[in-house]
Amino acid sequence: MAIEQKLQKFQCIKRSTRGTINIDPLQRGGILTDEAREALIEWGDGYSICDFCPGVLDMIKTPPIFDFIHKALPEFLGTDHARVTNGARESKFAIIHSMAKEGDWIVLDQSAHYTSFVAAQRTRLNIKAVPNSGSPDYRTTPEGYLDAIQEIIKETGKPPALALVTYPDGNYGNLPDVKKIAAVCHEHDVPLILNGAYSVGRMPVNAKYLGADFIVGSGHKSMASSGPIGVLGVSEEYSSKVFEKSPTHKVKEIEMLGCTARGATIMTMLASFPKVFERTKHWDSEVENARWFSSQLESLGLVQMGDKPHNHDLMFFEAPILFEISQTAKDGRYFLYKELKARKIHGIKAGLTKFFKLSTFGVPRDDLKVVVDAFDEIINS
Protein backbone atom coordinates (compact mmCIF):
# COMPACT_ATOMS: atom_id res chain seq x y z
CA MET A 1 0.00 0.00 0.00
CA ALA A 2 1.36 3.44 -0.88
CA ILE A 3 2.29 5.54 2.14
CA GLU A 4 -0.24 8.22 1.17
CA GLN A 5 -2.99 5.65 1.42
CA LYS A 6 -1.74 4.38 4.75
CA LEU A 7 -1.78 7.90 6.19
CA GLN A 8 -5.37 8.54 5.17
CA LYS A 9 -6.58 6.76 8.28
CA PHE A 10 -5.46 9.75 10.36
CA GLN A 11 -7.98 12.02 8.65
CA CYS A 12 -11.69 12.42 9.28
CA ILE A 13 -11.79 10.23 12.38
CA LYS A 14 -15.16 10.29 14.10
CA ARG A 15 -15.66 9.93 17.82
CA SER A 16 -17.72 6.79 18.26
CA THR A 17 -19.11 7.72 21.69
CA ARG A 18 -20.93 10.81 20.42
CA GLY A 19 -24.58 10.86 21.38
CA THR A 20 -24.18 8.59 24.38
CA ILE A 21 -24.95 9.45 27.98
CA ASN A 22 -21.40 9.93 29.21
CA ILE A 23 -20.68 9.19 32.87
CA ASP A 24 -16.88 9.05 32.58
CA PRO A 25 -15.47 10.97 35.59
CA LEU A 26 -12.57 12.14 33.43
CA GLN A 27 -14.84 13.73 30.88
CA ARG A 28 -17.93 15.20 32.56
CA GLY A 29 -16.39 18.53 33.56
CA GLY A 30 -14.52 19.01 30.30
CA ILE A 31 -17.46 19.07 27.94
CA LEU A 32 -17.15 22.34 26.07
CA THR A 33 -19.65 25.18 26.25
CA ASP A 34 -20.97 26.51 22.95
CA GLU A 35 -18.76 29.54 23.48
CA ALA A 36 -15.68 27.33 23.81
CA ARG A 37 -16.56 25.53 20.58
CA GLU A 38 -16.70 28.87 18.81
CA ALA A 39 -13.35 29.84 20.30
CA LEU A 40 -11.78 26.61 19.05
CA ILE A 41 -12.63 27.47 15.49
CA GLU A 42 -11.78 31.15 15.76
CA TRP A 43 -8.41 30.53 17.45
CA GLY A 44 -7.52 27.04 16.22
CA ASP A 45 -4.50 27.99 14.12
CA GLY A 46 -1.11 27.49 15.76
CA TYR A 47 0.13 30.47 17.79
CA SER A 48 -3.00 32.47 16.90
CA ILE A 49 -3.06 34.10 20.31
CA CYS A 50 0.42 35.53 19.71
CA ASP A 51 -0.75 38.10 17.13
CA PHE A 52 -0.02 40.90 19.59
CA CYS A 53 2.32 39.20 22.03
CA PRO A 54 4.36 41.57 24.22
CA GLY A 55 6.90 38.82 25.01
CA VAL A 56 5.11 36.41 27.29
CA LEU A 57 1.73 34.65 27.33
CA ASP A 58 0.26 35.99 30.55
CA MET A 59 0.92 39.60 29.49
CA ILE A 60 -1.09 39.42 26.25
CA LYS A 61 -3.74 42.17 26.32
CA THR A 62 -5.38 41.32 22.97
CA PRO A 63 -7.11 38.87 23.39
CA PRO A 64 -7.62 39.66 27.12
CA ILE A 65 -5.38 36.90 28.50
CA PHE A 66 -3.73 39.32 30.92
CA ASP A 67 -7.06 40.20 32.53
CA PHE A 68 -7.98 36.54 32.79
CA ILE A 69 -4.71 35.36 34.32
CA HIS A 70 -3.98 38.32 36.55
CA LYS A 71 -7.46 39.40 37.58
CA ALA A 72 -10.26 36.85 37.09
CA LEU A 73 -8.26 33.70 37.83
CA PRO A 74 -6.56 34.63 41.14
CA GLU A 75 -9.91 35.82 42.46
CA PHE A 76 -11.58 32.60 41.32
CA LEU A 77 -8.91 30.41 42.91
CA GLY A 78 -8.44 32.52 46.03
CA THR A 79 -4.73 33.05 45.48
CA ASP A 80 -2.42 36.01 45.13
CA HIS A 81 -1.01 34.93 41.78
CA ALA A 82 -2.09 32.61 39.01
CA ARG A 83 -0.90 31.20 35.73
CA VAL A 84 -2.32 28.96 33.07
CA THR A 85 -0.32 25.80 32.41
CA ASN A 86 -0.55 22.71 30.19
CA GLY A 87 -2.53 20.86 32.84
CA ALA A 88 -2.89 20.12 36.54
CA ARG A 89 0.01 17.66 36.44
CA GLU A 90 2.24 20.27 34.80
CA SER A 91 1.17 22.77 37.49
CA LYS A 92 2.13 20.30 40.20
CA PHE A 93 5.49 19.60 38.62
CA ALA A 94 6.23 23.34 38.31
CA ILE A 95 5.53 23.81 42.03
CA ILE A 96 7.41 20.73 43.19
CA HIS A 97 10.38 21.29 40.89
CA SER A 98 10.83 24.90 41.96
CA MET A 99 10.15 24.40 45.68
CA ALA A 100 12.07 21.19 46.34
CA LYS A 101 15.30 19.57 45.29
CA GLU A 102 16.48 16.03 44.65
CA GLY A 103 16.35 13.96 47.83
CA ASP A 104 13.82 16.17 49.63
CA TRP A 105 10.63 14.68 51.02
CA ILE A 106 7.04 15.24 50.04
CA VAL A 107 3.97 14.03 51.89
CA LEU A 108 0.88 13.20 49.88
CA ASP A 109 -2.31 11.26 50.34
CA GLN A 110 -2.36 7.61 49.33
CA SER A 111 -5.49 8.51 47.35
CA ALA A 112 -3.54 11.06 45.30
CA HIS A 113 -3.73 10.97 41.51
CA TYR A 114 -0.87 9.08 39.91
CA THR A 115 0.46 12.30 38.41
CA SER A 116 1.15 13.66 41.91
CA PHE A 117 3.43 10.69 42.49
CA VAL A 118 5.02 11.02 39.06
CA ALA A 119 5.56 14.78 39.38
CA ALA A 120 7.41 14.11 42.65
CA GLN A 121 9.38 11.27 41.04
CA ARG A 122 10.35 13.54 38.14
CA THR A 123 11.84 15.89 40.73
CA ARG A 124 13.54 12.86 42.33
CA LEU A 125 11.94 13.38 45.72
CA ASN A 126 11.25 10.87 48.44
CA ILE A 127 7.55 10.29 48.85
CA LYS A 128 5.66 9.48 52.03
CA ALA A 129 2.04 8.58 51.41
CA VAL A 130 -0.59 9.23 54.07
CA PRO A 131 -2.70 6.05 54.22
CA ASN A 132 -6.44 6.39 53.87
CA SER A 133 -8.79 4.61 56.24
CA GLY A 134 -9.50 1.79 53.77
CA SER A 135 -12.86 0.26 52.93
CA PRO A 136 -15.58 1.45 53.01
CA ASP A 137 -14.74 5.13 53.68
CA TYR A 138 -11.22 5.51 52.26
CA ARG A 139 -10.92 8.68 54.32
CA THR A 140 -7.81 10.86 54.44
CA THR A 141 -7.32 12.53 57.81
CA PRO A 142 -5.31 15.44 59.31
CA GLU A 143 -3.93 12.94 61.83
CA GLY A 144 -2.45 10.99 58.93
CA TYR A 145 -0.59 14.10 57.77
CA LEU A 146 0.62 14.77 61.30
CA ASP A 147 2.01 11.26 61.62
CA ALA A 148 3.72 11.41 58.22
CA ILE A 149 5.33 14.78 58.89
CA GLN A 150 6.51 13.72 62.33
CA GLU A 151 7.99 10.51 60.95
CA ILE A 152 9.97 12.47 58.38
CA ILE A 153 11.22 14.89 61.02
CA LYS A 154 12.26 11.94 63.15
CA GLU A 155 14.05 10.23 60.27
CA THR A 156 15.70 13.23 58.63
CA GLY A 157 15.80 15.93 61.27
CA LYS A 158 13.69 18.31 59.24
CA PRO A 159 10.16 18.63 57.89
CA PRO A 160 9.29 17.62 54.33
CA ALA A 161 9.73 20.24 51.61
CA LEU A 162 6.07 20.03 50.64
CA ALA A 163 2.75 18.38 51.28
CA LEU A 164 -0.05 17.73 48.83
CA VAL A 165 -3.70 16.90 49.35
CA THR A 166 -6.18 15.79 46.71
CA TYR A 167 -9.56 17.50 46.87
CA PRO A 168 -11.40 15.36 46.01
CA ASP A 169 -9.45 12.24 45.09
CA GLY A 170 -10.19 10.73 41.70
CA ASN A 171 -11.41 7.35 42.92
CA TYR A 172 -13.87 7.92 45.73
CA GLY A 173 -14.67 11.60 45.30
CA ASN A 174 -13.87 12.21 48.96
CA LEU A 175 -13.38 15.76 50.23
CA PRO A 176 -10.87 15.68 53.09
CA ASP A 177 -10.76 18.38 55.78
CA VAL A 178 -8.20 20.60 54.06
CA LYS A 179 -8.41 23.36 56.66
CA LYS A 180 -7.22 21.01 59.38
CA ILE A 181 -4.62 19.40 57.12
CA ALA A 182 -3.31 22.88 56.25
CA ALA A 183 -3.11 23.74 59.96
CA VAL A 184 -1.06 20.60 60.63
CA CYS A 185 1.26 21.40 57.72
CA HIS A 186 1.76 25.01 58.71
CA GLU A 187 2.48 24.12 62.34
CA HIS A 188 5.48 22.28 60.90
CA ASP A 189 6.38 24.92 58.26
CA VAL A 190 5.33 22.67 55.41
CA PRO A 191 3.77 24.45 52.40
CA LEU A 192 0.62 22.71 51.15
CA ILE A 193 -0.44 22.05 47.55
CA LEU A 194 -4.15 21.55 46.91
CA ASN A 195 -4.87 19.35 43.90
CA GLY A 196 -8.25 20.62 42.76
CA ALA A 197 -8.38 18.88 39.37
CA TYR A 198 -11.87 17.59 40.25
CA SER A 199 -13.02 20.65 42.20
CA VAL A 200 -11.80 23.86 40.54
CA GLY A 201 -14.49 24.68 37.97
CA ARG A 202 -17.04 22.27 39.43
CA MET A 203 -17.58 23.50 42.98
CA PRO A 204 -16.63 26.51 45.08
CA VAL A 205 -13.02 26.18 46.19
CA ASN A 206 -10.81 28.92 47.57
CA ALA A 207 -7.17 28.28 48.39
CA LYS A 208 -6.92 31.04 50.99
CA TYR A 209 -10.07 29.98 52.77
CA LEU A 210 -8.84 26.39 52.89
CA GLY A 211 -5.34 27.42 53.93
CA ALA A 212 -3.48 26.04 50.90
CA ASP A 213 -0.32 27.74 49.68
CA PHE A 214 -0.76 26.41 46.16
CA ILE A 215 -3.75 25.26 44.17
CA VAL A 216 -3.88 23.45 40.84
CA GLY A 217 -6.84 22.81 38.59
CA SER A 218 -7.51 21.16 35.26
CA GLY A 219 -9.15 22.91 32.33
CA HIS A 220 -10.02 19.77 30.40
CA LYS A 221 -11.15 17.91 33.50
CA SER A 222 -13.29 20.51 35.22
CA MET A 223 -13.31 23.88 33.43
CA ALA A 224 -15.09 23.07 30.15
CA SER A 225 -11.85 23.62 28.22
CA SER A 226 -10.20 21.85 25.34
CA GLY A 227 -7.02 20.34 26.70
CA PRO A 228 -4.35 20.05 27.62
CA ILE A 229 -4.68 23.05 29.91
CA GLY A 230 -4.57 23.68 33.62
CA VAL A 231 -4.36 26.44 36.18
CA LEU A 232 -1.90 27.19 38.95
CA GLY A 233 -2.42 29.45 41.94
CA VAL A 234 0.43 30.51 44.20
CA SER A 235 0.51 32.58 47.38
CA GLU A 236 2.58 35.77 47.49
CA GLU A 237 5.04 34.05 49.83
CA TYR A 238 6.20 31.51 47.26
CA SER A 239 5.53 33.32 43.99
CA SER A 240 9.06 34.60 43.40
CA LYS A 241 10.33 31.03 43.73
CA VAL A 242 7.78 29.36 41.45
CA PHE A 243 7.80 32.18 38.90
CA GLU A 244 11.55 32.82 38.91
CA LYS A 245 12.66 34.43 35.68
CA SER A 246 15.44 33.38 33.32
CA PRO A 247 18.79 35.11 33.94
CA THR A 248 19.30 35.42 30.18
CA HIS A 249 15.76 36.08 28.96
CA LYS A 250 14.40 38.49 31.51
CA VAL A 251 10.63 38.21 30.92
CA LYS A 252 10.51 34.42 30.63
CA GLU A 253 9.57 32.34 33.65
CA ILE A 254 11.76 29.25 33.94
CA GLU A 255 9.15 26.81 35.25
CA MET A 256 6.71 27.89 32.53
CA LEU A 257 9.49 27.41 29.90
CA GLY A 258 8.46 30.91 28.83
CA CYS A 259 4.90 30.29 27.74
CA THR A 260 2.56 27.36 28.38
CA ALA A 261 -0.93 27.16 26.86
CA ARG A 262 0.10 28.98 23.70
CA GLY A 263 -2.87 28.06 21.54
CA ALA A 264 -6.61 27.65 21.26
CA THR A 265 -6.69 25.81 24.59
CA ILE A 266 -6.47 29.03 26.58
CA MET A 267 -9.15 30.68 24.45
CA THR A 268 -11.57 27.86 25.24
CA MET A 269 -10.85 28.36 28.93
CA LEU A 270 -11.61 32.09 28.63
CA ALA A 271 -14.73 31.47 26.57
CA SER A 272 -16.14 28.93 29.05
CA PHE A 273 -15.13 30.85 32.13
CA PRO A 274 -18.32 32.89 32.65
CA LYS A 275 -20.41 29.71 32.60
CA VAL A 276 -17.89 27.79 34.70
CA PHE A 277 -17.93 30.60 37.25
CA GLU A 278 -21.71 30.45 37.27
CA ARG A 279 -21.97 26.67 37.57
CA THR A 280 -19.86 26.54 40.72
CA LYS A 281 -22.66 28.50 42.40
CA HIS A 282 -25.08 25.66 41.75
CA TRP A 283 -22.93 22.97 43.26
CA ASP A 284 -25.61 22.07 45.82
CA SER A 285 -27.86 20.73 43.07
CA GLU A 286 -24.97 18.63 41.72
CA VAL A 287 -24.47 17.10 45.15
CA GLU A 288 -28.20 16.48 45.41
CA ASN A 289 -28.17 14.66 42.05
CA ALA A 290 -25.18 12.58 43.08
CA ARG A 291 -26.84 11.55 46.34
CA TRP A 292 -30.07 10.68 44.58
CA PHE A 293 -28.18 8.57 42.04
CA SER A 294 -26.18 6.84 44.77
CA SER A 295 -29.34 5.96 46.69
CA GLN A 296 -30.94 4.55 43.53
CA LEU A 297 -27.96 2.30 42.74
CA GLU A 298 -27.73 1.21 46.36
CA SER A 299 -31.39 0.19 46.24
CA LEU A 300 -30.36 -2.13 43.40
CA GLY A 301 -27.72 -3.81 45.56
CA LEU A 302 -24.64 -1.76 44.69
CA VAL A 303 -22.61 -0.18 47.48
CA GLN A 304 -21.20 3.32 47.23
CA MET A 305 -17.78 3.64 48.83
CA GLY A 306 -16.27 6.83 50.26
CA ASP A 307 -17.93 9.77 52.03
CA LYS A 308 -21.56 9.16 52.98
CA PRO A 309 -23.73 11.07 52.47
CA HIS A 310 -21.62 11.84 49.43
CA ASN A 311 -20.43 15.37 48.67
CA HIS A 312 -19.22 15.10 45.09
CA ASP A 313 -20.35 13.89 41.67
CA LEU A 314 -17.47 11.41 41.43
CA MET A 315 -18.48 8.11 42.99
CA PHE A 316 -17.07 4.64 43.42
CA PHE A 317 -19.37 1.64 43.58
CA GLU A 318 -18.78 -1.93 44.58
CA ALA A 319 -21.13 -4.22 42.67
CA PRO A 320 -20.86 -7.83 43.85
CA ILE A 321 -24.15 -8.56 42.13
CA LEU A 322 -22.77 -7.51 38.72
CA PHE A 323 -19.62 -9.52 39.32
CA GLU A 324 -21.79 -12.54 40.03
CA ILE A 325 -23.70 -12.08 36.78
CA SER A 326 -20.43 -11.71 34.86
CA GLN A 327 -19.35 -15.17 35.98
CA THR A 328 -21.94 -16.77 33.71
CA ALA A 329 -22.59 -13.99 31.19
CA LYS A 330 -21.84 -14.61 27.52
CA ASP A 331 -19.37 -11.71 27.34
CA GLY A 332 -17.86 -12.48 30.74
CA ARG A 333 -16.40 -9.45 32.45
CA TYR A 334 -17.20 -7.33 29.40
CA PHE A 335 -20.95 -7.91 29.74
CA LEU A 336 -21.61 -4.74 31.74
CA TYR A 337 -19.76 -2.56 29.26
CA LYS A 338 -21.69 -4.12 26.37
CA GLU A 339 -25.06 -3.91 28.10
CA LEU A 340 -24.49 -0.23 28.83
CA LYS A 341 -23.20 0.40 25.33
CA ALA A 342 -26.34 -1.16 23.88
CA ARG A 343 -28.27 1.43 25.90
CA LYS A 344 -26.00 4.25 24.69
CA ILE A 345 -24.36 4.77 28.06
CA HIS A 346 -20.59 5.31 28.07
CA GLY A 347 -17.95 5.92 30.69
CA ILE A 348 -17.53 2.84 32.86
CA LYS A 349 -14.29 1.12 31.89
CA ALA A 350 -14.71 -1.97 29.73
CA GLY A 351 -14.06 -5.16 31.69
CA LEU A 352 -15.03 -3.83 35.12
CA THR A 353 -17.97 -5.31 37.04
CA LYS A 354 -16.89 -5.82 40.65
CA PHE A 355 -16.25 -2.12 41.18
CA PHE A 356 -16.10 0.99 39.07
CA LYS A 357 -16.29 4.75 39.27
CA LEU A 358 -18.51 7.21 37.48
CA SER A 359 -19.62 10.81 37.60
CA THR A 360 -23.01 12.48 37.55
CA PHE A 361 -21.64 15.99 36.99
CA GLY A 362 -23.92 18.00 34.75
CA VAL A 363 -25.92 14.92 33.73
CA PRO A 364 -29.61 15.90 33.58
CA ARG A 365 -31.84 14.04 36.02
CA ASP A 366 -33.69 12.41 33.12
CA ASP A 367 -30.46 10.94 31.80
CA LEU A 368 -29.53 9.76 35.28
CA LYS A 369 -32.87 7.97 35.37
CA VAL A 370 -31.99 6.25 32.10
CA VAL A 371 -28.75 5.05 33.71
CA VAL A 372 -30.54 3.85 36.85
CA ASP A 373 -33.14 2.02 34.72
CA ALA A 374 -30.33 0.43 32.72
CA PHE A 375 -28.71 -0.98 35.87
CA ASP A 376 -32.12 -2.13 37.05
CA GLU A 377 -32.72 -4.01 33.80
CA ILE A 378 -29.21 -5.46 33.69
CA ILE A 379 -29.50 -6.72 37.25
CA ASN A 380 -33.13 -7.80 37.33
CA SER A 381 -33.94 -9.15 33.91
Task: Give the residues across from 339 on adjacent strands.
Answer: none
Q: Which of 246, 285, 299, 327 touches a second copy (CB under 8 A)? A: 246
275-314 footprint of a second copy as x/- string (CB under 8 A): --xx------------------------------------
Quick one: which of 168, 124, 133 has its CA closest to 315? 168
Q: Cβ atoms within 10 A of the Cβ of 128, count? A: 19
Q: Which of 24, 151, 318, 324 touches a second copy (CB under 8 A)? A: 24
Pairing relationship of beta strands 345-346 and 21-22 according to DSSP bridges: parallel
| By CB under 8 A, residue 268 contacts a second copy | yes
Secondary structure of residue 259 in the 3-state scheme: coil
| By CB under 8 A, residue 115 contacts a second copy | yes
Q: Which of 117, 292, 334, 355 touches a second copy (CB under 8 A)? A: 117
Minimum distance of a second copy from residue 70's CB (angstroms): 13
| By CB under 8 A, residue 240 contacts a second copy | no
Helices (H), the chain: 3-7, 34-42, 65-67, 73-77, 88-99, 114-122, 142-156, 178-187, 207-210, 219-222, 236-242, 264-279, 283-299, 320-328, 335-342, 365-380
95 contacts 234 by C-beta, under 8 angstroms: yes
Q: Which of 69, 78, 79, 93 touches a second copy (CB under 8 A)? A: 93
Q: Which of 23, 82, 90, 348 touches a second copy (CB under 8 A)? A: 90
Cβ contacts of 22 within 8 Å, gap of 6 or more: 28, 31, 346, 347, 363
Q: 13 vs 330, which CB is nearer to a second copy?
A: 13
| By CB under 8 A, residue 15 contacts a second copy | yes
How far apart CA 222 and CA 28 sit, in angstroms, is 8
Secondary structure of residue 218 in the 3-state scheme: strand
| By CB under 8 A, residue 354 contacts a second copy | no
With contacts defined by CB under 8 A, name the span among 160-168, 185-193, 225-233, 353-361 that binds a second copy. 225-233
Minimum distance of a second copy from residue 42's CB (angstroms): 6
| By CB under 8 A, residue 119 contacts a second copy | yes
Minimum distance of a second copy from residue 73's CB (angstroms): 11
| By CB under 8 A, residue 220 contacts a second copy | yes
Residues in 164-193 that interact with a second copy by CB under 8 A: none
With contacts defined by CB under 8 A, name the span among 135-143, 160-168, 248-256, 310-318 that binds a second copy. 248-256
Quick one: which of 31, 26, 69 has its CA closest to 49? 69
- Helices (H), strands (E): how many in the chain? 16, 12
| By CB under 8 A, residue 364 contacts a second copy | no
